[in-house]
Amino acid sequence: MNCAIIDDEPLAREGIARYAKEVDFLQLIHTCENPVELMQLLDQQRVDLLFLDIQTPKMNGIDFLKIVQKPPIVIITTAFPSYALEGFQLNVLDYLVKPITLDRFLRSVNKARDYHQLLQRAEGIAEAADYFFIKCGSKFEKIHFADILYVEGMQNYVTIYTRKGKYVTLLYLKNLEENLDNQAFIRVHKSYIVSIDKIEGIEGNEIFIQSHRIPISRNYREQVIERVVTKKLWAAGRK
């Protein structure tokens, strides 16, 4: 995994770099003192894992996460625990509070490696004929696209609800969404994606799929009505 470090403290950068060099699956490709320096690198070279400080000059780490498109896996490294909630809301994988011990660092990067492997498998979803595999605990489960009712995301986990049951796996919702057919699935809420042809009804701000009720957020309601309801009514009226 290619990794980079953003930290305005030289000693902190050196410490994380020293830890990274102890890990055989990490390749340190860049260190810098603020996120602005990293933006050009992201356009030129693949970064799989980013160690990100919060309070950095020119732009702080939280603001960087809000604006960067398709960020790498992020582990926050900071002396301030108060940013943890906001960090996890922005899909960081882990949050390390300085001083960082080697043991805590190793547990974090091993978690990053496992997640990176899951992302690589997710990227291969589009290449599969009509199914993909996810890891649920110690077992790999085969999921057919046609069986999916809807998907619920929570931080860095997703729950996939199918005709056969539900499956929980370590994966960001946005990464799964990128590999779903956007003609067959639609985002209805920041935390929910549904299969369009499984929708049985819509009432108020809820979608009905079998016995499930899935919320529609205000930001997505117009798009949902346009794609799921309006076009079907228009088509029916022409027959």
Total Cβ atoms within 10 A of residue 159: 15
- % of the chain with per-residue pLDDT over 90: 56
97 and 177 co-located in one domain: no
pTM of the model: 0.55
- Inform me whether the pLDDT recorded for 234 exceeds 80: no
137-194 per-position pLDDT tens digit: 888 999 999 999 999 999 889 999 999 999 999 988 988 888 888 889 999 999 999 9
CATH number of domain containing 146:
2.40.50.1020
* Confidence band of 122 (pLDDT split at 50, 70, 90): low
- Domain count along the chain: 2
Asked whether the predicted pLDDT for residue 229 surpasses 90, the reply is no
Quote the pLDDT of residue 235. 44
Residue 127 scores a pLDDT above 80: no
Distance CA 223, CA 19 (A): 47
Q: Are residues 160 and 141 in the same domain?
A: yes
* Model pLDDT, residue 69: 78
Q: 66, 94, 122 — which closes off a domain?
A: 122
The tens digit of pLDDT for each residue in 13-46 reads 999 999 999 999 999 999 999 898 888 778 778 8
Q: Does residue 199 sit in the same domain as residue 106?
A: no
- The verdict on 186 and 93 lying in the same domain is no
Percentage of the chain modeled with pLDDT above 70: 92
Statement to judge: residues 57 and 114 lie in one domain: yes
Say yes or no: 174 and 100 in one domain: no
pLDDT of residue 239 exceeding 70, the answer is no
pLDDT at 9 over 80: yes
Q: Write the DSSP assignment of the chain as a string of letters.
A: -EEEEE-S-HHHHHHHHHHHTT-TT-EEEEEESSHHHHHHHHHHS---EEEE-SS-SSS-HHHHHHH-SS--EEEEEES-GGGHHHHHHTT-SEEEESSPPHHHHHHHHHHHHHHHHHHHHHHTGGGSSSEEEEEETTEEEEEEGGGEEEEEEETTEEEEEESS-EEEEE--HHHHHTTS-TTTEEEEETTEEEEGGG--EEETTEEEETTEEEE--HHHHHHHIIIIIIHHHHHHHH-
Higher pLDDT, 161 or 136: 161
Give the chain's mean pLDDT.
Answer: 88
pLDDT single digits (tens) 40-71: 778 778 899 999 999 998 888 999 988 887 78
Range(s) of the domain holding residue 105: 2-122
- Position 123 scores a pLDDT of 65
Last residue of a domain, one of 122, 154, 182: 122
Over 90: is that where the pLDDT of 230 sits?
A: no
Q: What CATH number did the domain enclosing 73 receive?
A: 3.40.50.2300
Same-domain check for residues 16 and 64: yes
